[in-house]
Amino acid sequence: MRVLGINLPYADEAVRNDLTAMAEKAGFEARFYDDATLKTEGAADCEVFFGKMPSSQLKSCAALKWFQCSFAGVDDYCDEALYPSPEVMLTNSAGAYGITISEHMVCSLLMMMRNMPKYGDMQKVRGWNRAGEMRSIYGSTIAVLGMGDIGSNFARRVKALGAYEVRGIRRVAHKGMPEGFDKVFATEDLDEALKGADVLGICLPATSETQHILDERRMALLNAGAYVLNVGRGSAIDQVALKKMLDCGHLAGAGIDVTVPEPLPQDDPLWEAQNLLLTPHVSGNMSLSHTRRFITDMFKENFALYLKGEPLKYLVDRKAGY
């Protein structure tokens, strides 16, 4: 019997029944795991695995031919030595998180622009004062570093809220003008794209090319009083430089959902940065029912292709890192 292994924290009875019926129709046994049973029992018999699996356990999955993870970032899964065979295919769930993460970005940006953290602090002491001038997405110039599903969703939302100009930055600039963007820059022209920007949203995977792509020199290219958002990987930002540019006031605020390391140690200086809105990598995850449905539907679509022997969607290039 061919085995489909599944580890999905959100798998309620309806999801389990749906995936079980799909597997049985294809001649597979659907075998459900949680983190504990996966660690104790292993998944050596699984030909296909869907959901969460620690990268350290992949090597023991002797029968594995395809792993579709339930998350988008795969930087911990790209080392070929992790796999029982170089033929094992890795697909991710990039495309499922655009709605939830872009809404988190808009929420964080508006909270900072409208001084909501300060008013929250004021409420705790029953204060009734003005926290200063407010800002608006309307009329702002916004740069989006990374034009995948998340970056594109963010661009459409800020454009709908009246952003004056939305600049997209990606590896190659000549792929057309996606909805929500006014200009597209190649990564090699990043400096030019940052000049005069009021907001920078970073939606990048962790690769050698994206390590500290936003350093102190590039932060200085943004308009004085600019905001920075990061929802990709913490490694994209030089955190020492970020604290410096927040504390000196060049940056009016930063909404950071990802750090290096995670969790951020309690004695890390970044906690003390001025005007920092820090969240513990929660912009994505499984908090939205839309996200959960998208992840499951993406796997079902790919499973049908797998059975036909056709190329899979969302295939990760482990050498490139995404």
Task: Identify the pLDDT of residue 273.
Answer: 98
Establish how many alpha carbons lie within 13 A of residue 279's alpha carbon, considering only the half-sphere containing its beta carbon.
21
The CA distance from 158 to 25, in Å, is: 44
Task: Identify the pLDDT of residue 244.
Answer: 98
Kindly state the tokens that stand for 212. 């500290």
Please give the class, per CATH, of domain 98-278.
alpha beta
Sequential pLDDT tens for the chain (322 residues) = 899 999 998 889 999 999 999 999 999 999 999 999 998 899 999 999 999 999 999 999 999 999 999 999 999 999 999 999 999 999 999 999 999 999 999 999 999 999 999 999 999 999 999 999 999 999 999 999 999 999 999 999 999 999 999 999 999 887 788 999 999 999 999 999 999 999 999 999 999 999 999 999 999 999 999 999 999 999 999 999 999 999 999 999 999 999 999 999 999 999 999 999 999 999 998 878 889 999 999 999 999 999 999 999 999 999 988 8
pTM score, two decimals? Answer: 0.92
Are 228 and 255 spatial neighbours (Cβ–Cβ below 8 Å)? yes
- Kindly list the domain boundaries of the chain, sorted by start residue: 2-96+287-308, 98-278
DSSP-derived letter for residue 84 is S
CB proximity list for 173: less than 8 A, separation 6 or greater: 184, 185, 186, 189
Q: Which of 275, 318, 285 is nearest to 104 (CA)?
A: 285
Looking at domain 2-96+287-308, what is its CATH homologous superfamily?
NAD(P)-binding Rossmann-like Domain (3.40.50.720)
Task: Identify the pLDDT of residue 165.
Answer: 98
Task: Identify the pLDDT of residue 173.
Answer: 82
User: Is there a common fold for 2-96+287-308 and 98-278?
Assistant: yes
Q: What CA–CA distances, in Å, run from 74 to 179, 263, 318, 321?
A: 27, 18, 9, 7
The CA distance from 45 to 30, in Å, is: 11
Are 28 and 20 spatial neighbours (Cβ–Cβ below 8 Å)? no
